[in-house]
Structure 1
Amino acid sequence: MVSGPTSSIRKDEGGMTAVIEFLSAFTLFLMILTAFLSLAQLEMGSNDTSVDRLDRSAAQGMDRLTSDGGWYVPVFEDGTYDYQNSTSQWHQKSLEELNSGVVMAGLIDGYSIDFDRVSALHNVTESSLLAGLGLSESFSLHLSIKITESDDSQRDGIVLFSGGTERGTASASSTAFKELQTGSEKVLIILEVHNGGRSTNNLIITEISPRSVSGAPEWIEMYNPNDFAIDLRGWSLSHISPNLNSNLLLTEGVVSGLSTIIMTGDPSSQDVGLADHVIDLGGEGFLGVGQLNLIDDGGGVVILSYTQLSEFQPFEVMRVEWGGDTGFFLTPSQSLEYLPPIFPPTQIDWQISSTPNPGIVNLV
């Protein structure tokens, strides 16, 4: 009897044929699919490495902000790190210390967000936070922290911090967010990481006194409306008048977020009011004191400009003008005061004040 083995061989040959036909058909299908995708220029998933990098950076930045309390490491003048004096209590360091060292601004104390650390973010510049989070210096960021739920109706919806580069100025962006429970409150943290973008670190000239009373210094009052601190490097002041022109490029200094600054010809005799920062421009030869008039009493223009690191030409942020056709003719002890909210202001957004209040800003 030979029928049994012959039948088995035929079955094996039939199965092998079916497998070969299936593989051939599947291979043909893959070839057609590949050709179709190539023709239609379709992508299965993101092949844009720059977008992937932004996504990873946003996730990494959020993780570092919310994983612990952060740290601060001082830096010696030669650029080496002073690890011996490093601390996790970065929020207790001064504005000057934070911006002369390296800070990783963690916001967590235990398992809850620390509002003292959130408040201390006003002493950190955007670039310092970016570096501390380990993100590329070619990136920029925007950070927002808001109470979304609270038993206290007066705190419900409060924005604790909102600052940095706006998304619309960048070519690409990625966002990470996290909501944390802190006691009876919920706090939402949103971190946007951008590919470049123009920094929005504006300073505002709020009042200027080119014609102070006899013996008193000339002064300029400014306000930092940003939540982040601002590095003054790259900022410049120009004075143009029929009798005198002068320019000053600021090369050092940091001002905290939401702070008032008085720039004066003589800090020792200057009425600073409630100013957070006092900067001496008398030694720089830009502002005078007493009989030394370095800003023209009769008329002139003061221009505030900023030059980004990636640019060569300064960008005019705002200007203030008096005398000439402006109608603003100041007598001794009068000042010129900015009237918000239009920014940058036009000539009609200024007024003469007979009761100058250096260091007291009203932007309502």
Structure 2
Amino acid sequence: MRRASHHSERDEGGLTAVIEFLSAFTLFLMILTAFLSLAQLQMGSNDPGVDRLDRAASLGLDRLTSGEGWFVPMADNLDYENATSDWHMADAEALDSGRVQPGLMSHHKLDMTRISALHNVTEDGMAAGLGLDSDMSLHLSIRVLESDVPERKGLVLFDGGTERGTAPSSSTAYRSFQQDGEQISVVLEVHDGGRKNNILHITEVMVRPASGGPEWIELHNPNDFAIALKGWSFNHTSGSTSSNLLLQNGVVSGQSLSVLTGDPSSQAVGNATHVIDLGALGFLGVGQLDGLADGRGLLSLRYTQLDEITPADVVRVAWGGDTQLFMVTGQSLVWDGTDRFSSSAWSLEDVPSPGEYEA
């Protein structure tokens, strides 16, 4: 009997040891799982694509908000000897032809002059300067979150670039600044691809100028970033005739007006930032030379995305025919800011005002 009892106690002890081991091992697995989950939360995804976007956004924001930036102008090649930190003093054409890394800081503060100068930088130019890969796009937002001046609270200082919803994946980097009684946020989004937000508006057209003046087109860039005109084109159709103009160069600043004219020397420009000669290219006329049809015509502004072959209409302006828009000499066509493709959004103007459009 004593021997049987001894075996029973030994079996019970072994079972207890197994149970204790399994309990300890289960607890170990729970702790390990919690640790790995915490590490994943702190370190982020192990997806190489997401990590690549995270690094690009973080480094890009650091370059943007850590110094004054720099600009290397273009001569025959990049002119490094004349590189300067005063990139904000260069115009849109110069910045687009050279190489710029915008920096927003001066004397350890956000510089409002440099922020304003971002309107002269294209999205592609900024992406290259910040070191983003060629298949990436970006969106930049700078806002006043809090201010001692009530009117400035919520003020948008800059908001432009590719929208997040057009890209399959994105990453965001954020930095906040306290200065001069204000809290200002700088948010940089970096996208994997995405469709560039390239929109230009035709806002007024002169088809039948008076006194031998030039034909002209008023163009508004509603984007905060500048837009390079390469890839943009005009098409004019009247009856069975058609003319096309593919723009090869030129840059229009963000939130600016441009006047495209048949003769810059005699063109009234108002407050336009840019005056572009389309007479030399044979698209717009002056005096007795007509580029645009007087009686009936259709003018289209088109853009071709880099990954596409066929241009897409961005704006269409029609006159004559069934549009009820019949101009006499000296009248212009003015857009009301609504539909970019309907003739109902256009009206006749007896007092043309090139370079005076207000969004």
Q: Which piece of structure 1 moves more, 349-358 or 237-246?
A: 237-246
Matched, 1:119 2:112: no
Q: How does 1:1-364 map to 2 (within 5 A)?
A: 46-77=45-76, 79=77, 81-242=78-239, 244-340=241-337, 342-363=338-359
Note closer, same or farther for the CA distance 1:159–1:45 as it changes in structure 2 (3 Å cut): closer
Per the TM alignment, residue 110 of structure 1 is displaced from its structure 2 partner at its CA by 2.1
Deviations 1:290-340 (A, max 9, x none): 111111100110000001112111111010000011111110000110002
Residues 109-159 of structure 1: per-residue CA shift (max 9 Å, x gap): 122101110000001000000000001111111101011111111212110
May I ask how many residue pairs the two structures share in their alignment? 329
Inter-partner Cα distance in structure 2 for 1:60 and 1:22: 49
What is the CA distance between 1:214 and its match in structure 2? 3.4
Distance 2:94 2:341 in 1: 34
Amino acid at match of 2:58: A
Over the matched positions of the two proteins, sequence identity in percent amounts to 56
Partners in 2 of 1:153 and 1:300 — Cα distance?
A: 50
Helix, strand or coil for the counterpart of 2:245?
strand
State whether residues 334 and 356 of structure 1, in contact with CA within 8 Å, keep that contact through their aligned partners in structure 2.
yes
Write out per-residue CA displacement over residues 76-118 of structure 1, whole angstroms, 9 at most, x where no aligned residue: 32x3x32211111111122222111111101111221011100
How many Å apart are 1:45 and its aligned residue?
Answer: 6.2
Task: Find the aligned partners of 1:45 and 1:177 in 2 and give their Cα distance.
Answer: 16
Cα pair 2:74 2:94 within 8 Å, conserved: no
User: Whole-Å Cα distance in 1 between the matches of residues 184 and 259 of structure 2?
Assistant: 35
Alpha-carbon distance in structure 1 between the residues aligned to 2:273 and 2:344 = 28
CA distance in 1, matches of 2:75, 2:21: 70
1:221 CA drift (Å) = 0.6
Distance (whole Å) between structure 1 residues aligned to residue 207 and residue 117 of structure 2: 35
Q: Distance in 2 between matches of 1:71 and 1:312?
A: 35
**CA distance change for structure 1 residues 45 and 354 in 2, over 3 Å: closer, same or farther?**
closer
Deviations 1:27-79 (A, max 9, x none): 9x98xx99xxxxxxxxx9633211111111111111111111111112332x3
What is the CA distance between 1:244 and its match in structure 2?
Answer: 3.1
What 5-or-longer segments of structure 1 have no aligned partner? 1-17, 35-43
- Structure 2 CA distance, aligned partners of 1:223 and 1:260? 5
Change (3 A) 1:343 1:169: farther
Question: Whole-Å Cα distance in 2 between the matches of residues 26 and 288 of structure 1?
Answer: 86
Work out whether residues 207 and 338 of structure 1, in 8 Å CA contact, stay in contact via their aligned partners in 2: yes
Q: Distance in 2 between matches of 1:181 and 1:166?
A: 27
Q: TM-score, normalised by structure 1?
A: 0.86
Letter in 2 for 1:100: S
Q: Secondary structure at the match of 2:97?
A: coil
Letter matched to residue 54 of structure 2: D
- Secondary structure in 1 aligned to 2:141? strand
Q: How high is the TM-score relative to the length of structure 2?
A: 0.87
- Matching residue's letter, 1:157: G
